Structure 1
């Protein structure tokens, strides 16, 4: 994917204007921006970014992505807190994917914390 193509998170912006800058090291300003960039990391196959943005208290020792899972689109259902001056936030979303077994949906209520000016994914409830 090139930086002038539409971002996988479906914000309507290009990858460079949206999640690409976070994947390149710029801190996400909100929990929702971090969640969108993490979705983009899944879509682009970037486990290093996923690990770097996962809170150390809950981060797995390794992240293995399924090369046969293709992420199709993201819908943000709601967000609570998670603003530039908050210390925590919740983002609920639905992510649609396809595997060789067919199409599926991941619905999650994700929790985020902001420490030292950076947002981190803590954990989530999947339904």
Structure 2
């Protein structure tokens, strides 16, 4: 799905897509594990399988990326990120703890994961994670899980 470079980046950074994840989607190397993770979330939103493959460690990359037209990614929250204790900047591993909210077949779900990253040459790549999936059951008059600030019935339930 094409996205204007002036549109808000789907990763939730509040930056325009053209200044945030688009350069990474076109081959720029991510400087941090958080930037890479945000670009990967954005690639799931936009269906960019090539970016996902390029940023996944070859030893753990699945054959099927799990991209589906039935999955609508709505919100990303980066909860924490860093490197293992005692490791200095520029060393080989990092992690990102995030929560992603999505809707699939009309059902709301939340994926929470601590993702592990490693360096492969001069670039960060995704190794694996410990995902936890949970169902959400928002009421029509509750805040929309996409974080728009509107009630569900006036937002994503339309």
TM-score tier after normalising by the smaller chain length: over 0.9
Structure 1 equivalent of residue 38 of structure 2: 36
How far is the alpha carbon of 1:114 from its aligned partner? 1.2
Alignment counterpart, residue 114 of structure 1, candidates 119, 133, 156: 119
Which has the higher Rg, Structure 1 or Structure 2? 2
How far is the alpha carbon of 1:47 from its aligned partner? 1.1
Q: Please give the residue correspondences for 1:54-93 in structure 2 after superposition, counting only pairs within 5 Å.
A: 54-81=56-83, 85-93=90-98
Q: Provide the rounded CA distance (Å) in 2 between the counterparts of 1:54 and 1:71.
A: 19
| Pair 1:66–1:84, CA change in 2 (3 A) | farther
Name structure 2 gaps, 5 residues minimum.
Answer: 133-158
Q: Deviations over 1:69-113 (max 9, x none)?
A: 010010001112288613110100000001123111000010000
Q: Provide the rounded CA distance (Å) in 1 between the counterparts of 2:57 and 2:46.
A: 21
Please give the TM-score of this superposition, normalised by the length of structure 2.
Answer: 0.76
CA RMSD of aligned residues (A): 1.5
Which protein, 1 or 2, shows the higher relative CO under an 8 Å CA cutoff with sep ≥ 6?
1
Decide which moves more: 16-25 or 80-89. Answer: 80-89
Task: Name the structure with the higher strand share.
Answer: 1
Please give the TM-score of this superposition, normalised by the length of structure 1.
Answer: 0.94
Name structure 1 gaps, 5 residues minimum.
Answer: none
